[in-house]
Amino acid sequence: MGSSWPCCCWQRIEMGPAWSQLVRPCSPKPALLLASLLLTAGLALADAVASCPVLCTCRSQVVDCSSQRLFSVPPDLPLDTRNLSLAHNRIATVPPGYLTCYGELRVLDLRNNSLVELPPGLFLHAKRLAHLDLSYNNFSHVPADMFVEARGLLRIDLSHNPWLRKVHPKAFQGLSQLRELDLSYGGLAFLSLEALEGLPGLVTLQIGGNPWVCGCTMEPLLKWLRNRIQRCTADSQLAECRGPPEVEGAPLFSLTEESFKACHLTLTLDDYLFIAFVGFVVSIASVATNFLLGITANCCHRWNKASEEEEI
Ligand SMILES: *[C@@H]1O[C@H](CO)[C@@H](O)[C@H](O)[C@H]1NC(C)=O
Ligand SMILES: *[C@@H]1O[C@H](CO)[C@@H](O)[C@H](O)[C@H]1NC(C)=O
Ligand SMILES: *[C@@H]1O[C@H](CO)[C@@H](O)[C@H](O)[C@H]1NC(C)=O
């Protein structure tokens, strides 16, 4: 994973303790390199003076590369970067392992780019990442375990991804600290309850502006939301049903048990037991009937034979 990405930190991991004697492969400034090599604690200095990428501004652990028409992510950020903004660019992919070096990263802003997906394992070393903004991109689905390594996430913004149709039931698995989730203005017609159920810390949920289809499959989620609404702010006014026709335009949270009555006109357990019982009785009866018919036929046959013999 990520071996193609020219990352010093990556190579440090691969090369082990011998790294400090090696030339830093991704540092663009030989003079600084030399200085760092001259020091026994060269690592610390190298980290502190890592240069700022062109087109970005770097100040007190904040790296701002927003609105620079970037088509790819800038390499070699200062290793102590805390806030990284790549917003309002045209970035279509993030290389795997891109964040490996930046263990201090708290805020990653990728808003308003052309991202379709993130590489697996991107957050493997981003243990401190708390805020992730992926809004205004082109994500079509949120796969299982997309954020699983970023256990410290407090906020995920996936809003305004108009092609976002699917959120895997295990998409947000393991995010026990997540407080804010924004899924508004996507293309979601359905969301499974399982996707949200495992988020004990959720305080704010935004789901408005999606073409929700409030059919029977949505009932568990809506029921759960209604029960949780006291503890969880949701954009209830904005979330509307796009279908089925009977509830088109109705606010999601206006739907009651009554709205889903038709979903429960199906058979209950008692009905199934009754059917099974009747089936059982019928099959027993048919076996018995066959048995009796068989005996009768046999008797008739013998009786016939006996009378024929008598006649002869
Ligand atoms: C870093 O980002 C967070 C969240 O967006 C923001 O609240 C904070 O002010 C930023 N820090 C700096 C120094 O810009
Ligand atoms: C997205 O970024 C472009 C520049 O790349 C800008 O013109 C546009 O206003 C931005 N859109 C939003 C919603 O911020
Ligand atoms: C976004 O993705 C869809 C397919 O999922 C594609 O048709 C569309 O052109 C993409 N839009 C942009 C701006 O990349």
d(Cα 174, Cα 25) in Å, to the nearest integer? 35
Residue 42 has a pLDDT of 43
Strands 83-85 and 62-64: parallel
Stated as kind and residue range, the H or E segment containing 58 is strand 57-59
- According to CATH, the superfamily of the domain at 52-264 is Ribonuclease Inhibitor (3.80.10.10)
Residue 256 has a pLDDT of 78
Q: How far is the CA of 73 from the centre of ligand 2 (A)?
A: 17
- Determine contact, residues 82/104, Cβ cutoff 8 Å: yes
Whether the per-residue pLDDT at 105 is higher than 50: the answer is yes
Q: Is ligand 3 within 6 A of the CB of residue 93?
A: no
d(Cα 271, Cα 287) in Å, to the nearest integer? 24
Spell out the domain ranges in the chain: 52-264, 267-312
Count of other CB atoms within 10 angstroms of residue 34: 11
Beta strands in 171-275 (DSSP E): 180-182, 204-206, 212-213, 233-234, 241-243
What pLDDT digit, counting tens, does each position of 125-144 carry? Answer: 899 999 999 999 999 999 99
Q: How far is the CA of 171 from the centre of ligand 3 (A)?
A: 21
What pLDDT digit, counting tens, does each position of 6-41 carry? Answer: 444 443 333 333 333 333 333 434 444 444 444 434
Residue 248 has a pLDDT of 87
Q: How far is the CA of 169 from the centre of ligand 2 (A)?
A: 31
Looking at ligand 2, which atom is closest to the CA of residue 69? Answer: 5
Q: What type of residue is 175?
A: L
d(Cα 121, Cα 148) in Å, to the nearest integer? 9
Q: What is the 3-state secondary structure (H, E, C) of 162-201?
A: CCCCEECCCCCCCCCCCCEEECCCCCCCCCCHHHHHCCCC
Burial label, 294 (beta-carbon count in 10 A; 0-12, 13-18, 19+) = exposed
Ligand 2 mutation pick, 89, 110, 112, 114, max ligand atoms within 8 A of CB: 112
SS3 label, residue 141: strand
Shortest CA distance to 154 belongs to which of 135, 134, 181?
181
